């Protein structure tokens, strides 16, 4: 009987996963169609160009890793406000390793540096029961001043080094162009660039799809590929393994998990070590891939943005990826083609119109009014604004996040015991 029940549960879970996958694919296709309409209507071809998408990917990865760090911590029941500090440790240790022994060793040391921060936060919050928010804030301060002290010891006096900057790394992580798809070489032969050929034609939808795919398959850092693969790996571990079940149960109902034999304290330590490793890898990406050296202030608040993407993504890896992509895309568009940002107003108006139509089938007054107001304002902005001020472009991802949280707050479900202190042997 128990075997039959388990099989039924697995079948139900598989069907839910397939249904969720179809919804994600449908949403992705719909967004691409609307973006293609926006590009043709507005004439801003850079909205879906390979240059914009490639820059967006590089800017997305650190935020994605910070979001995954927050996800692993909160799924295990611990608030991790110290992600920014763990990323700072990752930037410093990563740059030091890349300077001394090469970029791959640097990435490993970045992960170790972040895990060190995760361990400190774990000891403070789990062993000594210090308030999790206070511990995270102290972690950020400790990392900032700690690496500055280390820089004074090890970087001052070195060529191009100083108290706020490391010497540059001697080599970089390889970047690839995929053969045939993006013109990557095979030996001495340069293969055809299929995606590039279609992108240059600017055909409706097909040209946009080619631009996106070329941006994802050309000048691609192997570190970016590893980071993106961590999304399905995280989803598989958290929702498909016994360890993931124990980890999530410690964030949902730790007393019940303990009564079933789960060592909640041990699981929480492991969860925070993994969280710190993700944050450290994000910091190492900034100092090794995005740059070639450590620089003070390099994280620029990405640890806090990662927390926003975690909420944006409803505490799920695929959602975190989507939230990070929103931030990365807006930043990439600003860097590659700042003049095209006006076209995003038209895109937002089209998305709002579609959401409004869908909402009419099951009317919710607040959502109807909010969506209509956003759509009208976005369309008016597209018609009247010729150049978007830089201050607005900087705040655009945050505005999008606030809109999502305001319209989808009822669907957001954080782990039930995230941030709640726990002591073994408590009430069952």
pLDDT at residue 2, as a whole number:
43
Tell me how far apart the alpha carbons of residues 122 and 341 are, in angstroms, rounded to a whole number.
Answer: 42
Domain at 50-177+219-339, CATH class: mainly alpha
pLDDT at residue 289, as a whole number:
96
pLDDT at residue 362, as a whole number:
67
pLDDT at residue 393, as a whole number:
67
pTM of the model: 0.92
Lowest mean pLDDT among 78-82, 300-304, 393-397: 393-397
Give the mean pLDDT of the chain. Answer: 88
Q: Quick one: which of 185, 165, 190, 166 has its CA closest to 174?
A: 185
> Taking the chain, what is the end-to-end CA distance rounded to the nearest angstrom?
27
pLDDT at residue 9, as a whole number:
43
Cα 194 to its chain centre, rounded Å, is 29
pLDDT at residue 65, as a whole number:
98
Tell me how far apart the alpha carbons of residues 365 and 83 are, in angstroms, rounded to a whole number.
Answer: 38
Predicted confidence band at 7 (pLDDT cuts at 50, 70, 90)? very low
pLDDT at residue 8, as a whole number:
46
Helix (H) or strand (E) holding 175: strand 175-176
Number of H helices, E strands in the chain: 16, 4
pLDDT at residue 1, as a whole number:
40
What percentage of the chain has pLDDT greater than the value 70? 89
Predicted confidence band at 104 (pLDDT cuts at 50, 70, 90)? very high
- Most confident of the ranges 162-171, 386-395, 407-416: 162-171
Cα 347 to its chain centre, rounded Å, is 22
Q: Is 22 exposed, middle or buried (0-12, 13-18, 19+ CB in 10 A)?
A: exposed
Instruction: Return the structure tokens found at 248.
Output: 């999530």
Q: Calculate the alpha carbon distances from 410 to 171, 366, 367, 407 in Å.
A: 48, 12, 11, 8
3-state secondary structure 233-278: HHHHHHHHCHHHHHHHHHHHCHHHHHHCCCCHHHHHHHHHHHHHHH
Predicted confidence band at 404 (pLDDT cuts at 50, 70, 90)? low
Lowest mean pLDDT among 1-15, 62-76, 285-299: 1-15
Q: Quick one: which of 13, 73, 77, 32 has its CA closest to 325?
A: 32
Task: Find residue 179's DSSP bridge partners.
Answer: 184
Domains of the chain, residue spans = 50-177+219-339
Q: Which residue has the higher pLDDT, 426 or 22?
A: 22
Work out the average pLDDT over 38-51: 93
Instruction: Return the structure tokens found at 326.
Output: 């929103």
pLDDT beyond 50 at 305: yes
What percentage of the chain has pLDDT greater than the value 90? 65
Tell me whether strands 220-221 and 175-176 are parallel, antiparallel or unpaired.
antiparallel
Instruction: Return the structure tokens found at 169.
Output: 């790394």
């Amino acid at each position: 009987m128990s075997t039959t029940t388990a099989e039924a549960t697995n079948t139900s879970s598989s069907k839910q996963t397939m249904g969720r996958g179809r919804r994600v694919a449908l949403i992705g296709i719909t967004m691409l169609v609307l973006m293609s309409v926006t590009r043709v209507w507005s004439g801003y071809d850079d909205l879906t160009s390979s240059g914009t998408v490639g820059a967006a990917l590089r800017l997305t990865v650190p935020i994605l890793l910070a979001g995954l760090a927050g996800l692993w911590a909160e799924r295990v029941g611990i608030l991790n406000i110290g992600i920014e500090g763990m990323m700072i440790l990752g930037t410093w240790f990563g740059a030091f390793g890349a300077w001394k022994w090469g970029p791959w060793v640097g990435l490993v040391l970045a992960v170790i540096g972040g895990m060190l921060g995760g361990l400190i936060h774990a000891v403070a919050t789990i062993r000594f029961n210090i308030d999790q928010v206070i511990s995270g804030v102290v972690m950020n301060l400790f990392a900032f001043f700690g690496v500055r002290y280390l820089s004074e010891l090890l970087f001052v006096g070195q060529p191009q080094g100083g108290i706020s900057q490391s010497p540059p790394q001697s080599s970089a992580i390889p970047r690839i162009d995929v053969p045939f798809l993006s013109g990557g070489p095979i030996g001495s032969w340069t293969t055809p660039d299929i995606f590039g050929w279609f992108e240059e034609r600017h055909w409706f939808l097909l040209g946009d799809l080619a631009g996106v795919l070329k941006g994802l398959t050309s000048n691609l850092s192997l570190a970016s590929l590893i980071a993106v693969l961590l999304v399905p790996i995280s989803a598989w571990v958290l929702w498909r393994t016994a360890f993931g079940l124990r980890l999530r149960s410690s964030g949902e109902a730790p007393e019940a998990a303990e009564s079933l034999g789960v060592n909640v304290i041990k699981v929480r330590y492991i969860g925070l070590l993994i969280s710190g490793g993700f944050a450290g890898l994000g910091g190492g990406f900034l100092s090794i891939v995005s740059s070639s050296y450590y620089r003070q202030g390099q994280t620029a608040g990405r640890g806090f943005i990662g927390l926003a993407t975690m909420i944006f993504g409803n505490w799920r890896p695929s959602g975190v990826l989507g939230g990070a992509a929103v931030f990365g895309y807006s930043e990439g568009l600003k860097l590659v083609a700042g003049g095209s940002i006006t076209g995003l107003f038209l895109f937002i108006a089209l998305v709002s119109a579609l959401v409004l139509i869908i909402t009419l089938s099951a009317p919710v007054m607040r959502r109807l009014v909010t969506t209509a107001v956003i759509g009208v304002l976005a369309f008016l902005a597209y018609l009247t604004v010729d150049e978007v001020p830089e201050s607005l472009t900087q705040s655009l991802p945050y505005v999008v996040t606030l809109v999502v949280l305001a319209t989808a707050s009822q669907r957001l479900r954080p782990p039930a015991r995230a941030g709640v202190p726990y002591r073994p042997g408590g009430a069952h």
